[in-house]
Amino acid sequence: MLCTLMHKRIPVIQMTIDDGTSSIISIGHIYDISHLPIGIGISDGKPDRRDLNHWWLSRSIPASRSGIREALELLQVPHTQLLLTKCFGLSLSDQYWINPNDHPLEWEKINFFENPFSEDVGNALFGIIPEETEIDLLSPDNTSDGWLKKKWYVINGKHCLMKGGSNPYQQEPLNEEIASHIMKRLHIPHTYYEVIWENGLPYSICEDFVTPETDLVSAWNIMKVKKKPNHVSSYQHFINCCEELGIPNVIPGIDQMLIIDYIIANQDRHYSNFGALRNAENLEWVGLAPIFDCGTSLWFDQLVIDANYAPSKPFKKEHSEQIKLVSSFEAFNIKDLDDITEEFSKILKSSPTIDSKRRVSLCAALDKRINMLESFITSM
Ligand SMILES: Nc1ncnc2c1ncn2[C@@H]1O[C@H](COP(=O)(O)OP(=O)(O)OP(=O)(O)O)[C@@H](O)[C@H]1O
Ligand SMILES: [Mg+2]
């Protein structure tokens, strides 16, 4: 398929996509290189096709997504990359898409922020067989990342992401909610998650924090704007890349992320679980994205709850080391977290898969982490 990579209404480059694999097989005319996705290498004024392919194919649902095999069977699609072209690569997390040359489309009429979309893919991902004989694949779920079961839907005109948990405890949605409460109390910009229950299972719901004016750019792509010298730490490299791009207020924002992750012993703050927002038209950076995806924390899969068990990502392997990267604790007030374990207990109580013994241990461990943080700060 001959098509144009678009950034909202701006043509970026012309390219040919292989119909069988969805990979980019050639790059043609370059319209506006400044609108290329962040992190794509450029040489002799041409984007690196390997980088571009990696970026493009990474927009598809990862093969590790829970329930993906069954969903693909229901949708009668052989692999997730094929779903990419079915929705023109459109997403609810940025403004990139592909415009087919043989039947050009308009962003106003096609984007998911302002137009309805099919729930067939989202439903299939939740194991629901699409009712219509004709399956409609025009869905932002085709371009959603992450391994947990999830779907986009519209409620009261708002775009919301519904995300499940994993066995045995199904704790991630509950963790998302308590993490939101903690960040609210600490005045940390965050994505607010709320738990809902469907057929005895918890799901977290959050609103889209991207608007038709913005792009979410992952830290993963930000880290690619410069080559990392061996002697530079990954933390410093990230800060340097943000500086090069001109992203404002990065250090205080990363401080806040490291603090919340220490408190909840987050195990999975990989480079796609944080990032920055930029304006999709004038390319000006807004700042770091509000903190999202905090569910893989609070000993979500541990049988024995040990507050000291705190492996971390992305800059250090242990939270006890990673917290040392925080440049200032001035804005942190431990008093803001008084009685937070009562809120945690209340959230946990709603779950049939978390018994009272586990609940009490989880609350005690959260309390201990808050005290550990206080001790760390006073020892400095
Ligand atoms: N509220 C939101 N607004 C816009 N984009 C979002 C929002 N929440 C998540 N995303 C996008 O969707 C992706 C997947 O969401 P999320 O990280 O919550 O899923 P996950 O399955 O928990 O991921 P992981 O594999 O890291 O555990 C994110 O990396 C981000 O790009
Ligand atoms: Mg994630």
Q: Which CATH number does the domain housing residue 306 bear?
A: 1.10.1070.20
Residue 133 has what pLDDT?
Answer: 73
Q: Is the CB–ligand 1 distance for residue 120 below 6 Å?
A: no
Pair 3, 105: CB distance under 8 Å: no
- 250 and 137 within one domain: no
For the CA of 64, the closest atom of ligand 1 is: 25
Residue 122 lies in a domain: yes
* DSSP summary character for residue 302: -
Q: Is the CB–ligand 1 distance for residue 192 below 6 Å?
A: no
Residue 283 lies in a domain: yes
Q: Which domain holds residue 220?
A: 214-379
**Angstrom distance (rounded) from CA 4 to CA 47:** 14
Residue 194 has what pLDDT?
Answer: 98
**Angstrom distance (rounded) from CA 187 to CA 181:** 10
Residue 131 has what pLDDT?
Answer: 75
pLDDT in tens, the chain (380 residues): 999 999 999 999 999 999 999 999 999 999 999 999 999 999 999 999 999 999 999 999 999 999 999 999 999 999 999 999 999 999 999 999 999 999 999 999 999 999 999 999 999 999 998 776 789 999 999 999 999 999 999 999 999 999 999 999 999 999 999 999 999 999 999 999 999 999 999 999 999 999 999 999 999 999 999 999 999 999 999 999 999 999 999 999 999 999 999 999 999 999 999 999 999 999 999 999 999 999 999 999 999 999 999 999 999 999 999 999 999 999 999 999 999 999 999 999 999 999 999 999 999 999 999 999 999 999 98
Residue 129 has what pLDDT?
Answer: 82
- 257 and 148 within one domain: no
Pair 122, 138: CB distance under 8 Å: no
- 218 and 158 within one domain: no
Residue 130 has what pLDDT?
Answer: 77
Q: Which of 258, 185, 225 is nearest to 36 (CA)?
A: 225
Q: 225 by DSSP, 3-state: which?
A: helix
Q: Is the CB–ligand 1 distance for residue 208 below 6 Å?
A: yes
Domain boundary among 128, 163, 198: 163
By alpha-carbon position, which residue is closest to atom 20 of ligand 1? 146
Q: Is the CB–ligand 1 distance for residue 125 below 6 Å?
A: no
* Crossing angle of helices 356-379 and 250-263, rounded to 10°: 140
Residue 8 lies in a domain: yes
Please tell me the pTM assigned to this model. Answer: 0.97
- 159 and 11 within one domain: yes
- 145 and 242 within one domain: no
* DSSP summary character for residue 43: E
For the CA of 148, the closest atom of ligand 1 is: 21
Q: Is the CB–ligand 1 distance for residue 146 below 6 Å?
A: yes
- 344 and 235 within one domain: yes
By alpha-carbon position, which residue is closest to atom 13 of ligand 1? 145
Q: 256 by DSSP, 3-state: which?
A: helix
The DSSP annotation for 118-164 comes to --HHHHHHTTPPPSSSS-----GGGG--SSS-EEEEEETTEEEEEE-
Structural domain total, the chain: 2
Q: Is the CB–ligand 1 distance for residue 209 below 6 Å?
A: yes
Residue 177 lies in a domain: no
Ligand 1 center–CA 230 separation, angstroms: 30
Domain boundary among 130, 163, 196: 163
Residue 213 makes CB contacts below 8 A (sequence gap 6+) with 279, 280, 281
- 88 and 159 within one domain: yes
Q: CA distances (Å), 292 to each of 81, 139, 242, in order?
A: 25, 22, 19
Residue 134 has what pLDDT?
Answer: 85
- 234 and 153 within one domain: no
Pair 143, 60: CB distance under 8 Å: yes
